[in-house]
Amino acid sequence: MKKRLAILDRDRCQPRLCDYQCIKFCPRVRTGDETIIIGEDGKPIISEELCVGCGICIKRCPFDAITIIGLPEKLEEPTHRYGINGFVLYGLPVPTAGKVTGILGQNGIGKSTAVNILSGTLKPNLGKEKIEWDEILKYYAGSALHGYLEGVSKRKIKTSQKPQYVDMIPRKFKGKVWDLLSKTDERGVLMELLSKLDITGIVDRRIEELSGGELQRVALAACIARDADFYFIDEISPYLDIYQRIKAAHIIRELAEKKAVMVVEHDLAILDLLADVVHIAYGTPGAFGVITHPKGIRVGINEYLKGFLREENVRIRTEAIEFEVHAPQPAKDILSLLEYGQFSKKYEDGFELIAEGGEIRKGEVTGIVGPNGIGKSTFIKILAGEIEPTTGKIDMNIKVSYKPQYIKADETIAVADLLRSITKQFDTSYYQTEILRPLQLERLLNQSVNELSGGELQRVAIAACLSHQADLYLLDEPSAHLDVEQRVLATKVIRRFAENNKVTAMVVDHDIYMIDMLSDRLLVFEGQPMLNGEVYGPFDMREGMNRFLKNVGITFRRDEETKRPRVNKLDSRLDRAQKAEGEYYYTMDKSY
């Protein structure tokens, strides 16, 4: 008999409002079976043994609270389950001293559950209501995890974690940066970390005054400064530019020479640089997750992009994620949307942005790249009309829609009501298929905006930006807090929206993969962060990427199998050769 999971989202389930539609229309219940009964809390309990998977309860539930899933035959026993009709996790990643172990998968697929088990804050119940450690250790006897879990059971494993959402730190800690970090320096490496992460100058500032990038580096320093056996680092890339991501990756690799380090990272270029091996996590978000055995980092990422896991014989995606082999050729005869002359913006702290004259074309997507603190958001805000330039003027005789870098969720309005208030297209089939469905917003429509997670809020903000009637759409860091799947979908939505509606989009982002898939041309920002910035371009992709990466001092090669960009090791043979040729980005990898 095929394994079947019945998942009930208890937060969504509202029996008083639906009068148990799932029970009334279940064909097995009508024949007298107790396939669905009412639990002690008044919510339905679905028998996975009696359920035939007809899907009628799914369609009848007005709150999308039920998920019925047929599982692959080869799955082992569950690692952990959150009660009857709750989320199920299969498999665990294996921490290994001397290596960086990566976890790659969608949000809501069980990565946090796995880490909670490995850190000792959650006891794996093997899908049972009650279980003791003796039974758990017997189940894992002979496996690579047995010794580790035995240490967890005896509380001999000390862990250190960097949280995913660093912008929540000011809510939990008040005071100066030094007050926070000095308490974590158990290895005596704090001063070295401050220097490597370029945060020495902010130790006397208050936590609530820090930017997102500063909070990210403070959180990383706090995690690594502790003396632990197992370090878990949940996303280092949000709010960090490519320079800072590379530095953070090198620091983590140094830590892993002696310690067991596990990372979740959705920037695939950084994950490729960081990890030695990777576990792929697949399944249905919020319902079940499967964590594979470890794979070599190149093989694992390539299989994930192709959507087919060879060893497990499982297809996790209907379409492969593809990259351009060569830089897109500049299009000819494209009409100009906006031409602007030189302008500047100077702040009281001394920072000044200078933009040479430029042209924005109709129907194009322009990527914007450069380090943090160089004026990218300032440039976008001037185009959006949020701030005025100090010198020069832009005649914006066009309509502009703007998604800021930092999104606040103070509104108690439902997502559907928010979007419906912006666009008359909300109830059309086009809006459903081109915006809501690919951005995975259908299940969020009845939730309040202020209840959303960072990734959910980001997707709503992208949809809200594209919902406005405009000629120019400005999106500042749309990849933040999105997993790989969501980044690809968001990229397709923005790209297709610009093409179908013949409008222009400008996107600031630090994810090289996203910029690569999204952009027709590039604006490159140069200068000294926090002191001055200059805007150059737009350039075609090849010229723009070569100029940008030359400033960064890193080179990329293309994986021959998937054409994805991969970071070359600094001063490697290929790195030196590409720098000598001035080709920092579009070289094909034939080194294996």
Does the pLDDT of residue 296 top 90, yes or no?
yes
pLDDT value of position 170:
86
Report CA torsion sign: 421, 422, 428, 429.
negative
Written as one string, the DSSP assignment of 369-399 is E--TTSSHHHHHHHHHTSS--SBS-----S-
pLDDT for residue 52:
87
Q: What is the DSSP letter of 435?
A: I
Residue 123: Cβ within 10 Å count: 16
- Residue identified by tokens 């396939």 is 35
Q: 35-72 burial by CB neighbour count: b if 16+ within 10 A, else e?
A: bbeeeeeeebbbbbeebeeeebbeebbebebbbbbebe
Burial track 144-169 (b if 16+ CB lie within 10 A, e otherwise): ebeebbbebbeeebebbbbbbebbeb
Instruction: Enter the DSSP assignment of 176.
Output: B
By CB neighbour count within 10 A (0-12 exposed, 13-18 middle, 19+ buried), where does 244 fall? Answer: buried
Cα–Cα distance for residue pair 450/410, rounded to 1 Å: 5
| Domain spans, the chain | 4-71, 88-315, 336-552
Sign of CA dihedral 134, 137, 141, 147: negative
Q: Is 175 exposed, middle or buried (0-12, 13-18, 19+ CB in 10 A)?
A: exposed
List Cβ neighbours of 125 (8 Å cut-off, separation of 6 or more). Answer: 80, 81, 131
For 324: left if phi > 0, alpha if psi spans -120 to 50, otherwise beta; the answer is: beta
Q: Which residues pair with 358 in a beta bridge?
A: 340
pLDDT computed for residue 190 by the predictor = 93
What integer pLDDT is reported at residue 589 of this predicted model?
A: 55
Mean pLDDT, residues 18-42: 90
Mean pLDDT of 460-470: 94
191-246 pLDDT, tens digit per residue, is: 999 999 999 989 999 988 888 888 999 999 999 999 999 999 988 888 888 889 98
Residue 331 pLDDT = 52
Residue 548 near residue 527, CB atoms below 8 Å: no
Paired with 41 in beta bridges are: none
Confidence (pLDDT) at 591 = 45
pLDDT at residue 592 is higher than 60? no
DSSP 205: S
Q: Could you tell me how far CA 577 lies from the centroid of its own chain?
A: 33
pLDDT band of residue 454 (cuts 50, 70, 90) is: confident
CA torsion angle 247 253 254 258 (round to 10)? 160
Measured between alpha carbons, how far is 80 from 62 in angstroms, rounded to an integer? 29
Phi then psi for residue 239, to 5 deg, are 75, -5
- In order of 38, 58, 503, 516, 557, the CA distances from 472 in angstroms are 52, 40, 6, 20, 33
- Residue 125 has phi, psi (to 5 degrees) of -100, 5
d(C-alpha 464, C-alpha 474), whole Å: 12
- Confidence class of residue 461 from pLDDT cuts 50, 70 and 90? very high
| Cα separation, 589 vs 592, whole angstroms | 8
- Of the candidates 571, 414, 418, 400, the one whose C-alpha atom is nearest the C-alpha of residue 474 is 400
Look at residue 289 in the predicted model and tell me its pLDDT: 92
Q: Do the domains 4-71 and 336-552 sit in the same CATH topology, yes or no?
A: no
Q: How far, in Å, CA of 165 to CA of 204, rounded?
A: 23
Tens of pLDDT, residues 313-358? 888 888 888 776 544 545 556 788 888 888 999 988 889 999 988 8
Strand pairing class (295-296; 277-284) = antiparallel
Q: What is the pLDDT of residue 332?
A: 53
Calpha distance 482→298 (Å, rounded) = 22
* Cα distances (angstroms) measured from residue 233 to each of 152, 168, 218, 450, 564: 19, 16, 13, 26, 24
- Write out the two tokens for 454: 């960072």
Q: What mean pLDDT value characterizes the chain? A: 88
By the 8 A CB rule, do 398 and 472 touch? yes
Write out the two tokens for 473.
């759409």
Which residue from 92, 94, 96, 93 is spatially nearest to 258, judged by alpha carbons?
Answer: 96
Token pair, residue 549, equals 């990466």
364-403: pLDDT as tens digits:
999 999 988 899 989 999 988 888 999 988 877 889 999 9
| Number of other CB atoms surrounding residue 464 within 10 Å | 20
pLDDT at 1: 45
| pLDDT given for residue 552 in this prediction | 84
CATH of domain 336-552: 3.40.50.300
Inter-CA distances, 550 with 267, 439, 488, 495, Å: 20, 34, 26, 27
Q: What would the mean pLDDT of 92-109 be, rounded to a whole number?
A: 90
- Give the CATH number of domain 88-315; options: 1.20.1050.10, 3.10.20.600, 3.40.50.10540, 3.40.50.300: 3.40.50.300
HSE (side-chain half, CA atoms, 13 Å) at 189: 15
> Exposed, middle or buried by CB within 10 Å (0-12, 13-18, 19+), for 543?
middle
Pick the CATH number of 4-71 from 1.20.1330.10, 3.40.50.720, 3.40.50.1440, 3.30.70.20: 3.30.70.20
Confidence class for position 69, pLDDT limits 50, 70, 90: confident
What does the alpha-carbon distance between residue 370 and residue 79 come to, in Å, rounded to a whole number?
Answer: 43
